Amino acid sequence: MKLEKAFKVLSHFLQGKEKAIELSLICLLAKGHLLIEDLPGTGKTTLALSLAKVLGLSFGRIQGTSDLLPSDITGTSVYNKVTGKFEFQKGPIFNHIVLVDEINRAPPKTQSALLEPMEEGQVTVDGHTYTLPKPFFVIATQNPIEYYGTYPLPEAQLDRFLFKISIGYPLREVEKEILKVGSLKEEIASLEPVLSKEEILSMQEEVRTQVYVSEKILDYLLNIVEKTRKSPYLITGLSTRGALSLLLAGKARAYFYKRDFVIPEDIKEIAPYLITHRLIFKEEYKSSATEIVKEILVNTKVPI
């Protein structure tokens, strides 16, 4: 299976980041977007660039800064003296995979320029609507919010990301091998595509239409959703859109593991990456968000 081959190639170049690679591919299969919160230098940009190379997709990069404008993302209309007309110059958002590096360094107005592309797959500039290429996959990175010069992402923006993950530091032995080999920039630049965009689009459609979900799985998922809404630690629980996202991500994980049906582990394994950033915790419990979600999952009976 070509998807498995893509995973193996990426794992070879990104040692110690197998979980991040798996979640990235599942996110793409589910037509979602990925938010990576981590310290600088942990391989976030390398992951995004490697994905684009192996999947045979175009790649665009946006660097978040305090003076970044919405037009720096979407593009702008430029006057052509020859034709006497304004012509639209596409911005970096018009790529299959778009890396938004340090998204929380961009001001809120600029962050909002990503809402329409991520939700609707289109961009509206000067009253004209332009369709983005398919597949379309945004990978955004953000520094921990305590860092100087960062703007917390609003709930509406966070909700556009299917998963929020961290890569973390590699294990000692893995890091030792990385130090021996050194930078892999040249090797990554020369990576050959394993998949085509047509194959990826076909896989996305198969995830949506050909992966079976039983009534027991639906009830299990709804039990998790209900517990988030009744939790004494939360102000608001998971929305219906969040529940739909959890279902689709579960189907994508089943497909990734070569199954045409969803099992409870598919929901349970991806839930922490999908649910946590969509919930609003009471102020005194914000620091324990991950543990609270884990407790909800542990206390939700798994169907047999």
Residue with tokens 């430029």: 78
Alpha carbons 124 and 110: distance in angstroms, whole number: 14
Q: What is the pTM of this model?
A: 0.91
Write the burial class of residue 258 (CB in 10 Å: 0-12 exposed, 13-18 middle, 19+ buried): exposed
State which H helix or E strand residue 296 sits in.
helix 289-298
77 shares a domain with 11: yes
- pLDDT score, position 129: 92
Q: Give the pLDDT band (50/70/90) at residue 266.
A: very high
- pLDDT score, position 121: 93
Would 146 be classed as within a structural domain? yes
- pLDDT score, position 184: 64
Q: What is the DSSP letter of 261?
A: B
pLDDT at 81 over 90: no
What are the angstrom distances between the C-alpha of 248 and each of 119, 196, 210, 219, 235? 15, 22, 12, 15, 25
What's 266's domain CATH number?
1.10.8.80
Select from 189, 220, 243 the last residue of a domain: 189
Alpha carbons 289 and 274: distance in angstroms, whole number: 13
The domain of 56 spans 2-189
Q: Render pLDDT for 14-39 as a digit per residue (tens, 0 to 9).
A: 877 889 999 999 999 999 999 998 77
State how beta strands 85-90 and 75-80 pair.
antiparallel
Q: What is the DSSP letter of 91?
A: -
- pLDDT score, position 156: 82
Q: Give the pLDDT band (50/70/90) at residue 171.
A: confident
State the total domains in the chain: 2
Q: What is the DSSP letter of 184?
A: -
236 shares a domain with 149: no
Q: Render pLDDT for 103-124 as a digit per residue (tens, 0 to 9).
A: 988 888 898 899 999 999 999 9
Would 40 be classed as within a structural domain? yes
- 3-12, 133-142, 255-264, 269-278: least confident range: 3-12
